[in-house]
Amino acid sequence: MKTAEIAQRFLDHFEKNDHVIVPSASLVSSDPSIMFTIAGMVPFIPYLSGLVPAPYQRAADVQKCIRTLDIEEVGHTARHGTFFQMMGNWSFGDYFKEGAIGYAWDLLTGAESDGGLGFDEKDLWVTVYQDDDEAARLWKQIAGLPDERIQRMGKEDNYWSTGQPGPAGPCSEIYFDRGPAYGRDGGPAVDDNRFTEIWNLVFMQYAITNVRSKTDFDIVGELPQKNIDTGMGLERVAFIKQGVENMYEIDQVRPVLDRAVDLSGRRYGAAHEDDVRFRVIADHVRSSLMLLADGVTPSNEGRGYILRRLMRRSVRAMRLLGVDGATFPELFAASRDAMKAAYPVVETDWTRISQYAFAEEETFLRTLASGSTILDLAIDQTKQTGSSAISGPEAFLLHDTYGFPIDLTLEVAQEAGLSVDRAAFDALMLQQRTRAKADAKSRKRALADQSVYRQFRAHGETVFTGYSDLQTESTVLGLLVEGVPVDRASAGQVAEVILAETALYAESGGQVADHGMIVGPGFELDVLDVQRPVPGLVSHTVEVTQGEVATGQPATSVVDAANRRQATAAHSATHLVHAALRDTLGGTATQAGSLNRAGYLRFDFSWGQALSAATRTEIEEIANNAVHDNLQVTTRVLPLAEAKELGAMALFGEKYGDTVRMVDIGGPWSRELCGGTHVAGSAEIGLISLVSESSVGASNRRVEALVGPDAFRELAAERAIVAQLTSTLKTPRDQLPARIAELAAQLKAAEKKIAAFRSKALEGRLPALMAAAAAAGALRVVAESLGAAASADDVRHLALQVRDRLGPDAAVVALGADVNGRPVVVVAANEAARAAGAKAGALAKAAAAALGGGGGGRDDVAQGGGTDVAALPAALAAVRTALEAA
């Protein structure tokens, strides 16, 4: 019985019994907490949990599923598959245990001629939850099963929940006895290899809470609506009905295995290791086909990474079978033909699916060619040194330089009897991610040696269409990865893309590069930077986020419109600020550099002194008046000489050809040579707020400003602060500066008085400290805590006073204090103490160690500190201990 026929019989059976037939949901789960649909019940969770009313009372489906937790078991057992299909029937508050058991038994044991599956009743066993007397009774009543074929199991096996508070209930599993050749008699409780589970009936009837583990939770009562959730593994039923050994040999999978056998020239069944590889290939190719059909594409993250891993494991398994060339055109075609009866999309969408599959294999074969050699050498060297683990840096080199996946490195190492220093590898990966984030943030990446651009520049200049268009169709002229020309770049890689035309602005004239994307058939590229590595040529640094891009492909550059609009406003605002500066300061205030990006501008100019507050206000007012007047912005392309005659200002550091682009704002008032993008009228800028003016050299100044919404937000924040101050200080806004200055002066005077008071108070403690001197061997020692002190200098001054008043006999003074929340210890030793071996620096270090900090200094006076004020007594005790031990 074909697999597709089994599925159809299942659906027909339940449709006859008034179930709505629901199509399979995508393998890509709509639940954000999981990547894939990992079980048949996933699409029904909202109904089972009661979050969403079910649109039907009873339903049936055949659901596509992907599980990757057991990926290492694939090929080793009869049951583990990455892609599988789960047949299920569902009741939402309709029938319960009796109905579920009756429908299942009728389908399983019904004659094939009547649409049933034709299982012999004597081959079927069931398990029930140990306390579920009702289910046991119903199995006897409906199926006539004897007690010995109804086995009771505990929560570990026969109680279902999501693992979270919510619906739960006992379940009953149906097993098929494969016969004595497969193990011991005695039912599933004895041997679950001989007795293979084919169907699980979940009786969802309780609400649970305080879930501590799979078997430890609190039942809080019965659900208001009892549900039925069943799952029958299609592949398991198929390998039993088809009389084959495992799921890899059923009609939907075996053709791939057979094609791998043909390509390798090895026989299936001759060697265990080869058999495992054949089964891995059969499973992974089918799984990859189905993932591609549901829109997943190979990448280095998330679902795409799982797909890439499956495909690359298949490639490597074929290599271990002796096949070095491309095999996906044969293997995927075989899987397509085996699956198209059940899933026609694999045939109708074959062009797209095959494009991704074949390109991924081609890319990985190149990776293997370089990476395998390096890994083999690493394995040999590791063994020669007697080590049992490949180093983290070696594994990282394979991953980072050669694209060799860490999972594959782990597998190859394990086969060679070695491990991998995964902790060191992960640390290097973390460092790389940190660097990558910094690169992305700055949007700066090193461009390749300019000579590699020659072949691309030979096609002519890159046409920039972004003055009028935010989206332009073009063609990929070239690709660079790590500065080397390549034919294609895959998801996860950073590359440079050369297009014939682009709407994306390349950084120049102070304006930063556009944000945006480049998209094409089956690929998406996130634009990280746009530069002109050689005159006339635009290079886009991108991260391939989806699919694979190749030379010669059509590609559309798409500008981030919001970012461009704000960057354009900032660039036009820079011209206004420049003109306002010249109006205010005169023609000698010439431009020395600029930067403008969305919401922000920075302008450097030649000037030898700081701008007064009044001058800054005047410049800001002139620029904003120009915004208010909505000056017309015009651009002209004309000869350089003519532009200079018209008085156009040239941008700092910019090189110009014979023909230039001149931008006028308000006619000659602002006239500059500029290749940047600009607003059509100055009112589009919105607002300019100068936020700082500073020195950037002996004769250069810098002004910075916020533009548009960013300027408004800044001013709104300042207004809120002023309002708060006027309310708190009960002072009118125009009197705030004087009031704050008055308060600052009062505070400063008060601080001086407090400091003087503390110093005097410390000096008043001099007699008590003198009296506290105690003997420590031949030394007299004072080791006391002062409490709070104004400064460390006060503590030092007092320590020296005490030392000097103790006279010529050997004496050491150690005083501790809390100085603004930080512990300080000062140690002073007189000449006689130093001669006896007491060194203030060493003693200060001992005290600082107790404070969790450091210290040191000269032999006569030294200081230590730390972070723990409460440890001051321990620090002083450490000084005494050190002296007593000397």
Bridge partners, 772 (sequence order)? none
CA gap 187, 148 in Å, rounded: 9
CA gap 670, 137 in Å, rounded: 93
The H-assigned helical ranges of 3-57 are 3-16, 45-48
CA gap 484, 452 in Å, rounded: 7
CA gap 849, 844 in Å, rounded: 9
Q: How many CA atoms lie within 13 A of 111 on its CB side?
A: 2
CA gap 575, 671 in Å, rounded: 8
Q: What is the DSSP string of 239-291?
A: HHHTT-SSGGGSTTTHHHHHHHHHHHTPPTTS-HHHHHHHHHHHHHHHHHHHH
Contact 677, 570 (CB under 8 A): no
Tokens of 750: 């008060």
Strands 537-546 vs 218-233: parallel, antiparallel or unpaired: unpaired
CA gap 327, 311 in Å, rounded: 11
CA gap 389, 342 in Å, rounded: 46
Contact 832, 810 (CB under 8 A): yes
Tokens of 835: 């001669």
**Beta strands, E only, 370-447:** 389-390, 419-420
Say whether 571 counts as a known binding-site residue. Answer: yes
Tokens of 482: 């790590």
Rg for the chain, CA atoms, rounded: 39
Angle separating helix axes 302-320 and 254-264, nearest 10 degrees? 40
Nearest to 6, CA basis, from 259, 341, 346: 341
SS (H, E, C) 130-199: CCCHHHHHHHHHHHCCCHHHEEEECHHHHEEECCCCEEEEEEEEEEEECCHHHCCCCCCCCCCCCEEEEE
Helix (H, G, I), strand (E, B) or coil at 364: helix
Return all residues near 257 (Cβ < 8 A) that are at least 6 apart: 248, 249, 268, 278, 279, 281, 282
Contact 847, 816 (CB under 8 A): yes
Return all residues near 737 (Cβ < 8 A) that are at least 6 apart: none
Say whether 575 counts as a known binding-site residue. Answer: yes
Bridge partners, 59 (sequence order)? 20, 90
Return all residues near 94 (Cβ < 8 A) that are at least 6 apart: 57, 58, 228
Tokens of 407: 């999972």
Contact 544, 495 (CB under 8 A): yes
| Residue corresponding to tokens 């590791």 | 382
- Please, what is the Cα angle at 349 between 554 and 317, to 5 degrees? 95
CA gap 297, 288 in Å, rounded: 9
Type of residue found at 219: I
Cα end-to-end span (Å), the chain? 94
Say whether 171 counts as a known binding-site residue. Answer: no
The helix, strand and coil proportions of the chain, stated in percent and rounded to the nearest 5, come to 45, 25, 30
Contact 124, 175 (CB under 8 A): yes
Contact 165, 50 (CB under 8 A): no
SS (H, E, C) 278-297: HHHHHHHHHHHHHHHHCCCC
| Binding site as annotated, residues for Zn(2+) | 571, 575, 674, 678
| Binding site as annotated, residues | 571, 575, 674, 678
